[in-house]
Amino acid sequence: MWTLDDTSGPPSWRRRASATGATLAFSTRRGGTSLPPFDTLNLGRSTLDDPEAIGNNRALLLNSLGLSPLLLATAGQVHGTRIVEATGPGHQADCDALVSSIPGLALAVTTADCMSLLFEAPGAVAAAHSGWRGAADGMPVAALSAVCERAACGADRVHVHFGPCIRGCCYEVGEDVAARFPEGALRHPGGKPRLDLPTATRLALLAAGVPGANIHDTDACTACEPYWYFSHRRDQGRTGRLWGIAACAVTA
């Protein structure tokens, strides 16, 4: 079960009783040091926020999760489907997902409406950034395949977690975008169609062999909840960034 924990450090979504012992979390916008419009836990270096504040925010969150800021791997994110194996800390340009089997190495992707997806399998984790382009081009299944290969397991052994993102209640898209998704992932309230990224992703993962019981969702909408989340669309681009974080368990 995913719970929004505000008892220790910056409030964040945390996974209780992870299937593999991995550390898994999704940040909120609360509990940091950034000033408006990046208030307060902005984690994205692609923004115009004070770099020192961003560094402080990252350290606050990682420390609260029991992870080291010195063991952080981040993805450059270009709305593609390239996945990189992280063999140590550092920034990986031109990719939208990271996979690793190194205990304690924190994999982080940034979002502000797009989905962050966390994958865990015995001995491997992945973090993926997937907006409508990534979802339409197959990022969720590509990341699943990378985890399966790294863990040497089938899709039935993988658990996938959906972070806060813009959802079908708020995400208006053009007909050209809607045409790239199954009807089950669309809503038609009148006017432009609305896309539900979690539904589209769930359908793709189910078709790829992930059991329904292994797909877990925070059910949080970034656009609906300005107190808790940054939203690029709602805030017209002047906003911060959230993180999805995954790290393999550290064994004694």
Q: Please report the pLDDT score of residue 17 as a whole number.
A: 72
DSSP-derived letter for residue 249 is P
Distance CA 45, CA 47 (A): 5
Q: Please report the pLDDT score of residue 252 as a whole number.
A: 54
Contact between 111 and 242 (Cβ < 8 Å): yes
SS3 155: helix
* DSSP of 161-219: EE-SB--TTT-B--HHHHTTS-GGGEE-SSSS-EE-HHHHHHHHHHHTT--GGGEEE--
pLDDT digits (tens, 9 = 90+) for 101-159: 999 999 999 999 999 999 999 999 999 999 999 999 999 999 999 999 999 999 999 99
Q: Please report the pLDDT score of residue 215 as a whole number.
A: 98
Distance CA 141, CA 147 (A): 10
pLDDT < 70 regions, the chain? 252
Q: Please report the pLDDT score of residue 8 as a whole number.
A: 79
Per the prediction, the chain carries an average pLDDT of 96
Distance CA 141, CA 228 (A): 29
CATH pick for 2-247 out of 3.60.150.10, 3.60.140.10, 3.40.50.720, 3.30.70.100: 3.60.140.10
Distance CA 116, CA 60 (A): 20
**Partners of 121 in beta bridges:** 124
- For residue 190, is it left (φ>0), alpha (ψ between -120 and 50) or beta? left
- Report pTM: 0.96
Q: Please report the pLDDT score of residue 190 as a whole number.
A: 86
The tokens of 60 are what? Answer: 């606050």
Name the residue ranges covered by the structural domains of the chain.
2-247
> How far from the centroid of its chain's Cα atoms is residue 140's Cα?
11
Peptide bond into 226 cis (omega under 30): no
Distance CA 94, CA 101 (A): 21
